[in-house]
C-alpha cells in the first residue's frame, strides 16, 4: 500500500485532483467527508458540539448548522480548540478504519485540506500539493463560488501560505490552467510515480542509484527534499532514532553531486530494524529495509596506500519512489563512521578551499567515464588522505557534531 497526502489551498482545485485519482483507481479518503460523517445527526460528536456551543449550531431538523458553527469558531481560538478536541479524535479514528480497509495493493490518497497546517506531512510516503497562485485562488473564490472578497481573503490568510505548501510538496501540481491540462498532469503522476511506487513497496524493491554515473550541478531543492525525508524517518522510528541528519554532497551548498539524497540515522543497535513493527512503520512512509548489511571503510586509522578495510556495519534504507533516489545510512552509535560523515559535511561547509578540492576530484573522476560503483571506490584513497585534514580542522575549531 502507498499512502499519499493530498492538499492545497482553498480554491486550488484539490477536489478535481482527488476525483481524477479516484477515476484512475486510487482509494480516496476524503477528510471533509469523514468530518461530516462523524457529526451526522444522532452521533455522540454532534451531541457534544450542541452541549458546548448551544442549540443555535443546530438546524431545525437537528443537523449541524455549519455556517453558524463557523461564525463562532473562526476567530475564537479557544472555541476552535474545543471543537477540534471533539471532532479530531473521531475523524482520525474513522480515517484509520478506511485506510485499514483498503486493499494491500492500493494507492490510498488522503484528501486533507489542512495537511500542512496540521503538521501531517511526515505521515505519508508522498505529499502532493495542488498549486495555484494566491491571487488566482482569490479570483476563483469570488467569481466561481460567489464568496465575498473580504471573506475569501480571510479564509486564505487563515491557511498556510504558498511558500509553506511548496516546501511540504514532493509533487507540486500546477492547476493554474484548464481542467484538461490538470488531468494530463495527474494521469502522468499516477502512471509514472504512484503506481510504480506502490508496486516497489509491496514487492520490497528499493530504488537505488543507476550505475550510469551522472554528477549534476547543485539543486536548490535538495535541502527541502532531505528535510521531508528526515521527518518521515523520525516519525517512523521515534525515540529509536538517536539522531537523523542530511549528509553527503547534497548537504553541502555549492557542491556538485549525484542526484542521490544521503541521509544518516544513528541507532543504539542495528537490531532495531529487525522488528517487523518498525519495518511496517517505515513502509508507511515509503522506506524499505533490505536484508543486506553494508560496511563503512576505516578512514580513521588507515595508512595512505593501504587497501580500504570495511569495518563498521550499517544498513542502507531506500525508498520505493522511482522519482527520488535516497540512501539512508543507518549506523550504530558505537560506530565512528557517523561522526566522520558529519565531520566531512561540516568541514566542507566551513572550508571552501577543501570543498573545491573535493569538487575537483569529482570532476576528474567523472571525466574518466566510470560507473557509479567505480566512482565510489575510486574516491576511497582521497578520503583516506582527507580524514587527517578534517580531524585537524576539528581540533583547531573545537568542532562537535551538534544537534541533529
- Binding positions for ATP are 11-16
Neighbours of 215 (CB within 10 A): 17
Please state, in angstroms and rounded to a whole number, the distance separating the CA atoms of residues 109 and 119. Answer: 17
Q: Hey, which bits of 27-94 come out as E strands?
A: 27-30
Residue of 251, 278, 206, 196 whose CA lies nearest to 2: 196
Contact 126, 4 (CB under 8 A): yes
Rg of the chain in Å (alpha carbons): 25
3-state secondary structure of 313: strand
3-state secondary structure 258-286: ECEEEEEEEECCHHHHHCHHHHHHHHHCC
Residue 127 CA to its chain's centroid (Å): 7
Coil, strand or helix at 175:
coil
* Coil, helix or strand at residue 298: coil
C-alpha cell at 56: 443555535
Cα–Cα distance, 265 to 333 (Å, whole number): 9
What interhelical angle do 66-73 and 77-101 show, nearest 10?
130
Q: What is the 3-state secondary structure (H, E, C) of 196-265?
A: HHHHHHHHCCCCCCCCECCEECCCCCHHHHHHHHHHHHHHHHHHHCCEEEEECHHHCCCCCEECEEEEEE
Numbered residues of the known binding site: 11-16
- Which strand ranges, in their side-by-side order, compose the sheet holding 171-174? 27-30, 107-111, 2-8, 126-131, 171-174
Amino acid at each position: 500500500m502507498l499512502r499519499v497526502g493530498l492538499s492545497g489551498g482553498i480554491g486550488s482545485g484539490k477536489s478535481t485532483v482527488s476525483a481524477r485519482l479516484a477515476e484512475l483507481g486510487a482509494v480516496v479518503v476524503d477528510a471533509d467527508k469523514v468530518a461530516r460523517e462523524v457529526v451526522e445527526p444522532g452521533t455522540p460528536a454532534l451531541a457534544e458540539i450542541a452541549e458546548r456551543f448551544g442549540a443555535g449550531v443546530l438546524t431545525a431538523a437537528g443537523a449541524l448548522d455549519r455556517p453558524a458553527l463557523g461564525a463562532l469558531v473562526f476567530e475564537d481560538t479557544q472555541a476552535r480548540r474545543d471543537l477540534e478536541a471533539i471532532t479530531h479524535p473521531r475523524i482520525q479514528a474513522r480515517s484509520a478504519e478506511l485506510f485499514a480497509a483498503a486493499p494491500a495493493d492500493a494507492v490510498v490518497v488522503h484528501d486533507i485540506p489542512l495537511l500542512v497546517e496540521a503538521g501531517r506531512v511526515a505521515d505519508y510516503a508522498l505529499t502532493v500539493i495542488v498549486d495555484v497562485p494566491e491571487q488566482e485562488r482569490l479570483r476563483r473564490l469570488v467569481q466561481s463560488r460567489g464568496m465575498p472578497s473580504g471573506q475569501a481573503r480571510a479564509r486564505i490568510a487563515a491557511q498556510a501560505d504558498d511558500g509553506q505548501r511548496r516546501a511540504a510538496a514532493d509533487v507540486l501540481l500546477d492547476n493554474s490552467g484548464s481542467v484538461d491540462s490538470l488531468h494530463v498532469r495527474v494521469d502522468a503522476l499516477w502512471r509514472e510515480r504512484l503506481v510504480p511506487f506502490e508496486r516497489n513497496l509491496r514487492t520490497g524493491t528499493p530504488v537505488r542509484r543507476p550505475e550510469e554515473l551522472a554528477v549534476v550541478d547543485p539543486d536548490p531543492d535538495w535541502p527541502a527534499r532531505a528535510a521531508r525525508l528526515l521527518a518521515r524517518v523520525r516519525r517512523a522510528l521515534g525515540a529509536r532514532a538517536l539522531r537523523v541528519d542530511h549528509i553527503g554532497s547534497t548537504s553541502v551548498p555549492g557542491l556538485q553531486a549525484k542526484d542521490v539524497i544521503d541521509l544518516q540515522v544513528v541507532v543504539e543497535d542495528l537490531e532495531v530494524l529487525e522488528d517487523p513493527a518498525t519495518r511496517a512503520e517505515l513502509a508507511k512512509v515509503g522506506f524499505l529495509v533490505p536484508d543486506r548489511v553494508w560496511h563503512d571503510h576505516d578512514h580513521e586509522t588507515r595508512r595512505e596506500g593501504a587497501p580500504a578495510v570495511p569495518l563498521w556495519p550499517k544498513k542502507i534504507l531506500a525508498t520505493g519512489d522511482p522519482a527520488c533516489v535516497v540512501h539512508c545510512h543507518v549506523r550504530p552509535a558505537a560506530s565512528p563512521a557517523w561522526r566522520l560523515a558529519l565531520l566531512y559535511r561540516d568541514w566542507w561547509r566551513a572550508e571552501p578551499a577543501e570543498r573545491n578540492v573535493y569538487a575537483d576530484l569529482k570532476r576528474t573522476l567523472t571525466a574518466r567515464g566510470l560507473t557509479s560503483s567505480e566512482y565510489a571506490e575510486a574516491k576511497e584513497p582521497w578520503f583516506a588522505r582527507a580524514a587527517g585534514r578534517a580531524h585537524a580542522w576539528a581540533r583547531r575549531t573545537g568542532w562537535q557534531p551538534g544537534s541533529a
